[in-house]
Amino acid sequence: MVAQHQPTEHIQVELDGAVAVVTMAKPPHNLLNRVFIEDLIQTFEGAIDSEARAILLKSEMKHFSAGADVDGFGADGSDGSPAAEVLDRLAAIPLPTIAAVHGLALGGGFEIALACDFIMASASARLGLVETSIGLMPLLGGVQRVVERAGMARGKEIAMFGRRHDPELLERWGVINAVVADDALEEASRSWAQQLAAGPTVAYSAIKELAVIASNEGVRSADQSQESAAQKVWASDDLQRGLESFSESGPGTAIFQGT
């Protein structure tokens, strides 16, 4: 059964089993401003307190997101910078997150996808950090995140040239995880989300925690944090379920409950 969960004006959310499906629906192209970004992040944070064990982000518009609403820049007297710390909150969500990208994911739209754990794109999608085309730089952490995924040289190339990249290239560069046929994106992305939602949620949270430490502070720091991260996994009911299932019927047969 699909249940509705805390929708906002431009963000729809449903709980499909243990998957929170978050759908951006801001006509015409999901252009980003401070309010929309904050609503999106609060929706993700709200999923933590629901029955969700994975989050799937998608769009019902023609594009995933064509970028920032540049007409709103500086309207409140500020410099218009939404600050990378905002999407740090999205990246810090302890549940697995997947961005299902179709159409265009440009500028801030691409940066939102980069803050998710996994990016799956349709074959006809085009993704890019295009801010330099108007003399700007990515403002939501896009530079850091493409460097993190693709390495220094490719990350600079993506951020400086401002091109719209085909997803197959970005998959080869390690920026996105999978490319599927246009008509397969909905089913394939939900399948990934459902697999993650059926997995050991506590272990996934610990994996995300260590991955962030390794990326931000280095492997040695992650090594030092591993024992504390593992403590909650050792104490989880799902580990006991997994061990019992392995003993009784072999690997891959456990039914996890997310606790």
Q: For residue range 2-25, what is the model confidence (pLDDT) as tens digits? A: 444 456 889 999 999 999 999 999
% of the chain exceeding 70 in pLDDT: 92
Terminus-to-terminus CA distance in the chain, angstroms?
A: 22
Whether residue 256 lies inside any domain: the answer is no
Distance (Å, rounded) from C-alpha 119 to C-alpha 139?
Answer: 20
The β-bridge relationship of strands 19-24 and 2-4 is: unpaired
Residue 227: give the domain boundaries. 201-249
Pair (110, 229) in one structural domain:
no
pTM for the complete prediction?
0.92
Pair (32, 139) in one structural domain:
yes
Average pLDDT across the chain, whole number: 92
Lowest-confidence segment of 33-37, 154-158, 220-224 by average pLDDT? 33-37
Whether residue 258 lies inside any domain: the answer is no
Q: For residue range 181-194, what is the model confidence (pLDDT) as tens digits? A: 999 999 999 999 99
Pair (210, 82) in one structural domain:
no
Answer with the one of 179, 197, 215 that is the final residue of a domain: 197
Residues 6+ apart with CB under 8 A from 60: 12, 23, 24, 25
Lowest-confidence segment of 36-50, 120-134, 147-161 by average pLDDT? 36-50
Distances (CA, A) of 43 to 47, 103, 176, 244: 6, 23, 23, 36
Q: Tell me the CATH number at 225.
A: 1.10.12
Pair (222, 180) in one structural domain:
no
Whether residue 212 lies inside any domain: the answer is yes
Pair (187, 218) in one structural domain:
no
**Backbone phi, then psi, for 53, in 5-degree steps?**
-125, 0
Pair (191, 231) in one structural domain:
no
Pair (74, 183) in one structural domain:
yes
